[in-house]
Amino acid sequence: MISRSITEEYAKKHGKIYWLLHDSIVIAGRNLLRFRRNPEVLFFDVVQPIIFILLFAYVFGGAIDVGDNSYRSFLIPGIFVQTIAFAGASAAIGLNADMNSGIIDRFKSLPMNTTGVLLGQNFAELARSVITLFIMSLTGLAIGWEINGGFLNAIFAYLLLLAFGFSMSWIGASIGLSVSSPQVASTAGFAWLFPLTFLSNAFVPTETLPTWLRIFAEWNPITSIVASCRYLFGYPMEVAVDAPFSLQHPIITTIIWLVVITAIFMPIAGKKFRKVTSR
């Protein structure tokens, strides 16, 4: 499949953007074939967030006060965001596995756009996230969660989630290109994500946290996108008059975070990839 990639002359004829998109789609297709050949990976990707949904909804739900909304309506967007954030760790593991398998060395001998390799990896993670979000949404609906914010708002919420996953994948790619093995990539990829997701409003209101943690949680990108999704799905939380900008305007804050994260880590990942492929 890779051997049928367009040549440099063909790329020049159709433009660099076409070349980039073509190679990105080829790499994404190649990565998605892994799930077809090894469906257990996708199966456990879906099972883990479903377990989280059921565990928090039925075990901890009655002990957590979230005001007028039910805990399930409060919980589901948080689980969505946590799961999408973990796509960054998956990107780290997948890219590092490719490095150690020698496939990256094979790409070096082909007239490929190097950025397309990274984009293709992230596009594959997006496709994986779409499937996971679909299954989780069905699970949420089955236990009583509802979308009350309207069709267009719900679509916008899902698009924000996918955009968040895309930006987090660049962090994962940077990590995967910086460590020596998939095992280290797995540890490094998840080590920072667990505190980031739990020190937010994903599972409990930020008001319940100690002051020094609450300040961090209020400006945590996880908090802003969770608050955005709750609002768009029709379950906005009450916000104090003196609440920070990030809580009063979560959608704007989320968009700023997405731009900042991508602007920082996309060049870092590209630089690290060029360094790795130049050896």
> SS3 string of 121-168?
HHHHHHHHHHHHHHHHHHHHHHCCCCCCCCHHHHHHHHHHHHHHHHHH
List C-alpha distances in Å: 116 to 172, 240, 250: 16, 45, 32
pLDDT tens for 68-93 read 567 888 889 999 999 999 888 888 88
Angle 87-93-97 from CA coordinates, rounded to 5°: 145
pLDDT recorded at residue 267? 92
pLDDT tens for 251-263 read 999 999 999 999 9
Checking if the pLDDT of 97 tops 90, the result is no
Distance CA 77, CA 169 (A): 19
Q: Under a CB-based contact definition with an 8 Å cutoff, are residues 199 and 148 in contact? A: no
Lowest mean pLDDT among 217-221, 239-243, 253-257: 239-243
Q: Under a CB-based contact definition with an 8 Å cutoff, are residues 224 and 250 in contact? A: yes
What are the domain boundaries of the chain?
2-277
Q: Of residues 11 and 51, which shows the higher confidence score?
A: 51
Q: Which of 83, 113, 64 is nearest to 237 (CA)?
A: 64
pLDDT tens for 106-157 read 777 766 777 778 888 888 888 889 988 999 999 999 988 889 989 999 999 9
